[in-house]
A and B are shown apart, each in its own frame.
Chain A
Amino acid sequence: MLRIQIITIAVNILFIWYIARLIVKGKLREEYAIVWIMCTVFLVVFSFWTDGLELLRKLTGVVVAANLVFTGFIFAILVYLLHLSVVASKLYNDNKKLAQEIALLKEEFKKHLEEKK
């Protein structure tokens, strides 16, 4: 086994362990963890299966394997970023609705209290 393989696998194990800790502590929701776990699985597969990258390079017709890795990862990261932006937008909208609802309720509540007096 090559030194780089050992390093990649060790880093992956650390990464998985950290993700698991985040979920257990309730700081990361499982649906977001799925992406990270899949990334790790992908990296582990290619750290064991060294010919795989070469095979993918030939299949796609890319000249330098490293370029394939960079292009692939940058694209994946962009897609995920877009997804996170969508999530953030939804959270913003929900938050706005909640704030408005609470403000209206407060107003209604005040009116009720004054009527009681």
Chain B
Amino acid sequence: MPGKVLIVIPCYNEEASLPKLLPELLSAALPNGYQLEALIVNDCSKDNTSAVAKKHKATVIDLPVNLGIGGAVQTGILYARENDFDMAIQLDGDGQHPPKELPKLINHHLESGANIVIGSRFLEKEGFQSSFVRRLGINYFHWVNRLMTGTRVYDSTSGFRLFDRKAIALASGYYPDEYPEPESLVIFSKAGLKIAEVPVIMAERQGGQSSIRSFGSLYYCFKVSLAMFFSFIRKP
């Protein structure tokens, strides 16, 4: 029997990018005959995200209150656990993560057995590389993570990641709410999960706004560093 893959797409006001993303996603060919289901987790969008997603034949979960990116992703992870999916892949709703890169993540997981596979835009410097300041921040988190866990994840803030069954079980129990990407790496490493990175080509966002902007970015760095530190000293 072919396995099932859930694509978790956390969305906040993404009606502009979904009409392009969803058809591309649903027609993507996965290796080994894996079955794909697209799940839109609508985090209280103020636009028509939910209706647009339903029109394009995606499963839609409308959160009754705004939970933030981490809570939305965890909702998708819980859905994957309840419905017995083999893998869940988080993919951003803004079109930064092209669906045609999905097989790379799945193949890498199948070959290496890694529990978490992260799509990285920096391993082979191709495609959209983000601004200088952002790369500085991403590099900083790479080092914090490396010092704490000894693992090397270059695109530590990438939201393009595959969770296998073990990772799904772990993230169902605890997943950070705000800016979860760098912190969750520490949690996964401490739990003994294997984390791998594969090079992917990312695009620039097609619509919507980043959740991290100007004034917020210092706060972001500080808060995430603190959260990583406390995840680090917390007993697993």
Contacts and interface: CB of A to CB of B under 8 A. Distances in A.
A97 B64 CA distance: 7
Interface string A6-47: 000000000000001001100001110110010000000000
A98 interface: yes
A98 B222 contact: no
Contacts of B178: 31
Residue among B64, B222, B226, B234 with max Cβ neighbours from chain A (10 Å)? B64
A24 B65 CA distance: 26
Nearest to A19: B230
A101 B223 CA distance: 32
A30 B227 contact: yes
- Please classify the interface of chain A as helix (H, G, I), strand (E, B), loop, or mixed, using the class held by over half of its residues: helix
A20 B65 contact: no
B65 A97 contact: yes
Given A20-B233, A24-B234, A31-B178, A98 B226 contact: no
Interface residues of A, number: 13
B222 A20 contact: no
Contacts of B64: 97-98, 101
Contacts of B226: 30, 33-34, 37
Nearest to A96: B65
Interface in B8-38: none
Interface in A92-115: 94, 97-98, 101
A34 B222 contact: yes
A101 B61 CA distance: 13
Contacts of B235: 24
B178 to A, nearest CB: 7
Interface string B217-235: 0000011001100100111
Interface of B: 64-65, 177-178, 222-223, 226-227, 230, 233-235
Interface of A: 20, 23-24, 29-31, 33-34, 37, 94, 97-98, 101
16 contacts: A20-B230, A23-B230, A24-B234, A24-B235, A29-B177, A30-B226, A30-B230, A31-B223, A34-B222, A34-B223, A34-B226, A37-B226, A94-B65, A98-B64, A98-B65, A101-B64
Given A30-B227, A37-B226, 15 more contacts: A23-B230, A24-B235, A29-B177, A30-B223, A30-B226, A31-B178, A33-B226, A34-B222, A34-B223, A94-B65, A97-B64, A97-B65, A98-B64, A98-B65, A101-B64
